[in-house]
Structure 1
Amino acid sequence: MRSAAAVLAALFVLGGFLPLLAAPPARAATADWTFLVYMDADNNLEDYGIADFLEMAGVGSTSRVNIVVQFDRAAGYNSQYGDWTDTKRFLVQAGMTPTSGAALSDLGEVDMADPASLVSFVTWGAAAYPARHYFLDLWDHGLGWQGVILDMNPNAFMTTAQLASALSQIRTALGRTVDIVGLDACRLTLEIMDELQPYADYFVGSQKDEPLAGWPYDTFLTAVTAAPLMTPVQVGTWLTSAYVASYFGTSPYSVALALVSGAALPSVVGALAEFVSELNASLPLLQSQVIQARASTERYEKNGLAGGDEFDLYHFSENVASGSGDPRLASLAGDLQDAIRSAVLANGVWDSPAPINGVHARHAHGLSIWFPDIPTEPAYPNLSLSRATRWDSFLTAYRAGTPTPIPTGATARSVDTSVPRDGLFDVIRVDATPPQNGSLVVVLTEGPAILAAPQLFAVAGQPESLNLTAPHAGRFNVTVLYYVAGKLSDLVRVPDLAIQARYRFEGSVADAQGHAVSGATVTLQNVRTSVAISNRTDAAGFYVLGAIVPDFFVDGDTLTLTATSGGRQVSATFVASARGTAQTANLVLDTSASEAVNSGLVALAAAGFVVAILLAAIVVWQREQIRQLRRRLP
């Protein structure tokens, strides 16, 4: 059994939540928390079930926190504590062992994979041990999107749909949702959380496999019993920290545990639906890019009961955004990433530097999704997530078909349309001739930001021309997307197109007393390119420097302005902005050094004059003394 003290110390080092461990206030009428642990160890996890029970008993229930367990054991794995193999219920007390005599009730052999058994346990536990908050812990093997709770007697598991049905009945019986549903099991995926979202406020689980030892119940429950007024978010956050701390630096496996807001999941699903819609439209033209994005995405354990086809959704969207060349896909990927960041409230991760199974967690953002090479599961389209996002259709399509571009011959170039011509590019002209009826979407971007995306109805053989203007001078990219029958059929990207404008840098150079410094050399240098322009100040100390944007600078460049005169120099550095036509910078040239030199020279001259006078006086005095001496001689 893990040491609670050792893990608490590790959490302190990791910046955990030890300040939450405050002394409990006066006893409330009902408990603050009831932990309902649905522990199916009727399989090869029996040893770990006993170990976790003992960890819970290392803390025990209090007047403020109830630890309630329904424990199903197996035959042939562990003979301790009476070697019973049926199902029993416990209110776990400090120092308790899982014996028949310690049980509240003996249920006989129960199929823990039967959703009716779960409903019975939770409704009984909530009625017998009411609390302000309920934490339902589903303890067992996890099968990814397919389900959880693998009971070897009678060799069944609870499907995700059955689990959702059970939680729906529990919500009806309790008259409220469960505060937290946690899986001390492998692979709590987005599909499972979306199915259960109407029935739970928060979810805690690992998007990848867990080590067999599972959660550190001693550390976790010690914290909650010490601070029972923790909110669900605090409890879930503490658990993610405690879990990672229990494996940090010692586990041969990478680990991850996340707290996810159920209320935020609809936004994730909505953003995923928009992203998938554009993905489906881009196929098969961008098939190779999508396959490469998947190949570059962090994938979790490839073996085991769940099949090993879970990928980090956030990381996949990042790879699509960076590799597809489609700015609309990139923008929708960004929206999905924003939604995931909002939904994942805490994400504890330790990426082992050398995991024994080769599986890392450096890109674990909290939400995994099923992403097989070839989808072969007939039940997957029935999931709520499939129906809402058409992710199942994408799984069928992303390797199907052969990319067959229909070229439009699209071009884009910067042009000067001013009258009379001033030699500056002021618009970007896009030309294309679609060979079939369809639609053209012309996307103007600056970096990742979409500035404009006009859409044109395309008539077969009819040339199309479009002028794009930008909100400011700079360098921009144009992507022409051509859709036929709703499918992307051509993608042409033209980067680094200039929209130009004249820009003035002006100001004055003065000394510390405010006197104009005329004839000073003023130099403006672009730090990124090392290109510089110079001019001199006029009789009034003013300077003007003219530049062409973006030839001399682009938005965000760092510029250094320097004034030099008579061996003296002053500099200023600032970030350039192309959102305007001029910028003023006044410089003060420090002349104190020269004045000090001049003052010193004057002082030296004065001192020399005084010395000269003294020497002259001495000479006169000496001559007078000699004259007086001669008078006294005979």
Structure 2
Amino acid sequence: MRRAAAVGLVFVMLAGACSRTDDASISGEPSARGEDAAAEDGSWTILQYSMADNNLEEFMMVDLEELAEVESDDGPNIVALVDRSEEESEVALGDQGDWAGARILRLGNGEFSTLSELGDVNTGDPALLADFISESIKENPADHYGLVISDHGASWPGIGPDDSFDDSLELAELQTALGDGLEAAGVERLDVLGFDACLMASYEVASAMAPFADRMIASEQLEPGHGWDYRSFQVLADEVDADTFGRAVIEGFAEQAVESDTEQDITLSLLDLTKMGALDQAIEDFAGALTERGANVAPVVGRERASTLEFGRSPDETEASHVVDLRMLASQIGVESLDLSEFTDEVEKSLNDVVVQSIDSPANLGASGMTIYFPPAVDYYDAGYEDAPSTGPWSAFLDGYYGSGAEIPDTDQARFVDAEPEVFFDDDGVNIQAEIESATTPNVADSFIRYGVVGDDGTVTYLGEEPATSFDDGTAQGTYDLTELVISDGEDEARAYVDLQFEEDDEVGTIDVPIAYYGPDDEAGGSDYQDALLSITFDTESGDVLQETYYAYHENTGGYGELQTSPEGIVVPEVLVLDDDGGETWEPTSGVGLFADLPSLSYELRPLASGTLLQIELGVTDFGDNADIVSAEVELP
């Protein structure tokens, strides 16, 4: 990755820019928290690191406007490093207007004061973050310190990017930045470290950050573009501790989600990093026990992984984050494999001690507050995981798990008894059923159905995939309700591929839809487009859409953030196409794009026309990702 030269941050203090009292030093020597006379009892300094040189810029400007509303005369010092793009939004930030490059600003009382102009810097450079931390703390001594980093989040790969430099902050770089910055400032630890980003509430991130902060605030799930409600930082005007601050952030985020109609699919956690040592040991012991039992426990692990709540999903597995809820995974394995229960119990106990507070939502019921990396198959495993901090024991388990899967004998690999499934129609739609070979049943981890329209040339345009059910008698069955998702901009419409997830008793379900976004200057249908994911939450009883959010996917970092579009751009749903040779590709649904005025788009689950020739497939996979699929063509009555 490219690295900019380290930039020394020079604070140009303007008249009236300091929010402290007249006798408060802003240029004294570095001091430990609470030891400098300039640090008032209970005082806070908040550092905001806004990596806005990307397509989240407009959202971050709104966040900074909220943060500036905090009354700071007798409240917190708030200093922000804000890096903007020349190519993204033209939104003005208070009286700062629009600009390109980075500035350091003081915020509060509805005002922004420029402390320094940095020009074109790389916010993915850990040296820049280290300098920002050290100089800001030196200039703003306090009893308590908090740092919030905003950008696309990717879990263990880190946070970013800065598009001007195509660079991000990996976990090891975050460790370097925090370690160097705090040491130079003479401060041992932050009180709070926050990630206003997607997917950062992971075990790997929390373990790597534990030496540098007492508390961490982050989300397991993708975050909607509004992110946190920074007006909640007003609580820092009182003498509050880190937990009170963290709870205020979570409550503010939840309330703003209700106001923004995004409350159906959110998470946020407050984690006590001082207790990560016990969880680190519990994970090491749990991973060791799993590795020791190898192939004997792998079938259980595979089944429970398939049923565990997953975040950052995508129908295109190459764009999925492959992180699952840690407590749910451990607890389910402990129930199904009693000889592991002492290890899973310790993981649950230690995790409960770490999670001070967390919120889930209808689409994420049972989310515990922390994820862990677990791709379903070795083909989706990123070897870079082994180089990330705090991943050693778990990566060793994953290596053993995938090795056990590769050694499943041919006779024990998932397969059906007959190649011809039973297909029948009822009031629920079309059903497909087949018997699983009994010798392979113990290794089966998951089952699914997939369905598509057969074209005149024999190609199959798939309309979606959803879970099937494996029964105790050895049969698997799936049901398709014979609808397709149609998205319309009021002038044109396009069918979309749906990756459907919900359990029978769930009140809401989720649909993930792969999307290509073309900006106004992009050639429609060309190769220059933004990969995106449409996430829809719907009422399982009525079928009504409750929430839809578009997320941009960053290929180089694996990070997600809400997609910001121009109404003059277009969005094109992508569908999976099977050609005559058996090759599968993701292709636009039609030559017609939809105007990217996202709030005006409508969504309808529309019944397929009578006479439609449909291919329906039923598949089973084992924990080694061996799969067998049976299929049939049927004409709809």
Q: Please give the TM-score of this superposition, normalised by the length of structure 1.
A: 0.54
Q: Which residue of 1 aligns with 2:151?
A: 140
In the TM superposition, residue 143 of structure 1 has moved relative to its aligned partner by: 1.4
Whether the 8 Å CA contact 1:87–1:110 is kept in 2: the answer is yes
Whether the 8 Å CA contact 2:53–2:85 is kept in 1: the answer is yes
Q: Which residue of 1 aligns with 2:329?
A: 316
**Whole-angstrom CA distance in 2 between matches of 1:394 and 1:365:** 26
- Does residue 288 of the first structure (1) align with residue 293 of the second (2)? no
Shift in CA distance, 108/298, structure 1 to aligned 2, threshold 3 Å: same
Q: Which residue of 2 aligns with 1:387?
A: 392
Whether the 8 Å CA contact 1:60–1:92 is kept in 2: the answer is no
Q: Which residue of 2 aligns with 1:402?
A: 408
Query: 1:4-153 maps to which residues of 2 (within 5 A)?
Result: 29=40, 32-81=43-92, 82-96=97-111, 102-153=113-164
Q: Which residue of 2 aligns with 1:244?
A: 254
Q: Is the partner of 1:44 in helix, strand or coil?
A: coil
Whether the 8 Å CA contact 2:42–2:240 is kept in 1: the answer is no
Q: Is the partner of 1:180 in helix, strand or coil?
A: strand
Which amino acid letter does the alignment assign opposite residue 98 of structure 2?
D
Query: 1:513-552 maps to which residues of 2 (within 5 A)?
Result: none
**Whole-angstrom CA distance in 2 between matches of 1:336 and 1:109:** 45
CA RMSD, 1 decimal: 2.3
Shift in CA distance, 60/71, structure 1 to aligned 2, threshold 3 Å: farther
Which amino acid letter does the alignment assign opposite residue 387 of structure 1?
G
In the TM superposition, residue 210 of structure 1 has moved relative to its aligned partner by: 0.8
Query: 1:141-220 maps to which residues of 2 (within 5 A)?
Result: 141-175=152-186, 176-188=188-200, 189-218=202-231, 220=232
Whether the 8 Å CA contact 1:144–1:306 is kept in 2: the answer is no
**Whole-angstrom CA distance in 1 between matches of 2:136 and 2:120:** 19
In the TM superposition, residue 167 of structure 1 has moved relative to its aligned partner by: 1.1
Task: Determine which of 224, 232, 235 is the counterpart of 2:236.
Answer: 224
Which residues of structure 2 form unaligned runs of 5+? 1-37, 412-637
Whether the 8 Å CA contact 1:30–1:130 is kept in 2: the answer is no
**Whole-angstrom CA distance in 1 between matches of 2:68 and 2:119:** 23
**Whole-angstrom CA distance in 2 between matches of 1:121 and 1:306:** 33
In the TM superposition, residue 258 of structure 1 has moved relative to its aligned partner by: 0.8
In the TM superposition, residue 274 of structure 1 has moved relative to its aligned partner by: 1.2
Superposed CA offset, 1:146-205 (max 9, x none)? 011210011111111111111111231233111111100111111111112111111111
Whether the 8 Å CA contact 1:181–1:204 is kept in 2: the answer is yes
Shift in CA distance, 29/338, structure 1 to aligned 2, threshold 3 Å: closer
Number of positions where the alignment pairs a residue of Structure 1 with one of Structure 2: 362
**Whole-angstrom CA distance in 2 between matches of 1:128 and 1:306:** 42
Shift in CA distance, 64/294, structure 1 to aligned 2, threshold 3 Å: same
Superposed CA offset, 1:531-587 (max 9, x none)? xxxxxxxxxxxxxxxxxxxxxxxxxxxxxxxxxxxxxxxxxxxxxxxxxxxxxxxxx
In the TM superposition, residue 30 of structure 1 has moved relative to its aligned partner by: 6.7
Q: Is the partner of 1:70 in helix, strand or coil?
A: strand
**Whole-angstrom CA distance in 2 between matches of 1:168 and 1:230:** 25
**Whole-angstrom CA distance in 1 between matches of 2:140 and 2:251:** 27
Q: Which residue of 2 aligns with 1:371?
A: 374
In the TM superposition, residue 306 of structure 1 has moved relative to its aligned partner by: 7.1
In the TM superposition, residue 309 of structure 1 has moved relative to its aligned partner by: 0.6
Which amino acid letter does the alignment assign opposite residue 84 of structure 1?
W
Superposed CA offset, 1:206-244 (max 9, x none)? 1121111100001x122222x2x1011211122122212
Q: Which residue of 2 aligns with 1:478?
A: none
**Whole-angstrom CA distance in 2 between matches of 1:115 and 1:60:** 31
Superposed CA offset, 1:60-114 (max 9, x none)? 43333111110001123322334311100111022225xxxx4111011110000
Which amino acid letter does the alignment assign opposite residue 381 of structure 1?
E
Q: Is the partner of 1:161 in helix, strand or coil?
A: helix
**Whole-angstrom CA distance in 2 between matches of 1:295 and 1:138:** 32
In the TM superposition, residue 404 of structure 1 has moved relative to its aligned partner by: 11
- Does residue 264 of the first structure (1) align with residue 275 of the second (2)? yes
Whether the 8 Å CA contact 2:199–2:312 is kept in 1: the answer is no
In the TM superposition, residue 31 of structure 1 has moved relative to its aligned partner by: 6.9
Q: Which residue of 1 aligns with 2:364?
A: 361
Which residues of structure 1 form unaligned runs of 5+? 1-26, 353-359, 406-634
Whether the 8 Å CA contact 1:88–1:107 is kept in 2: the answer is yes
**Whole-angstrom CA distance in 2 between matches of 1:95 and 1:233:** 26
Q: Is the partner of 2:311 in helix, strand or coil?
A: coil
Q: Is the partner of 2:168 in helix, strand or coil?
A: strand
Whether the 8 Å CA contact 2:309–2:364 is kept in 1: the answer is yes
In the TM superposition, residue 28 of structure 1 has moved relative to its aligned partner by: 6.5
Shift in CA distance, 395/170, structure 1 to aligned 2, threshold 3 Å: farther
Max radius of gyration: which structure? 1
Whether the 8 Å CA contact 2:291–2:401 is kept in 1: the answer is no
**Whole-angstrom CA distance in 1 between matches of 2:215 and 2:400:** 28
Q: Is the partner of 1:40 in helix, strand or coil?
A: strand
Whether the 8 Å CA contact 1:180–1:201 is kept in 2: the answer is yes
**Whole-angstrom CA distance in 2 between matches of 1:151 and 1:403:** 47
* Structure with the higher helix share, 1 or 2: 1
Whether the 8 Å CA contact 2:254–2:263 is kept in 1: the answer is no
Q: Which residue of 2 aligns with 1:298?
A: 309
Q: Is the partner of 1:342 in helix, strand or coil?
A: helix
Shift in CA distance, 31/107, structure 1 to aligned 2, threshold 3 Å: farther
Q: Is the partner of 2:103 in helix, strand or coil?
A: strand
Q: Is the partner of 1:346 in helix, strand or coil?
A: strand
Whether the 8 Å CA contact 2:101–2:120 is kept in 1: the answer is yes
Whether the 8 Å CA contact 2:52–2:84 is kept in 1: the answer is yes
Whether the 8 Å CA contact 1:318–1:333 is kept in 2: the answer is yes
Which amino acid letter does the alignment assign opposite residue 103 of structure 2?
K
- Does residue 254 of the first structure (1) align with residue 257 of the second (2)? no
Which amino acid letter does the alignment assign opposite residue 83 of structure 1?
D
**Whole-angstrom CA distance in 2 between matches of 1:184 and 1:398:** 38
Q: Structure 1 residues 136-145 or 28-37, which shifts more?
A: 28-37
**Whole-angstrom CA distance in 2 between matches of 1:286 and 1:263:** 32
**Whole-angstrom CA distance in 1 between matches of 2:105 and 2:236:** 19
Whether the 8 Å CA contact 1:31–1:65 is kept in 2: the answer is no
Which amino acid letter does the alignment assign opposite residue 119 of structure 2?
G
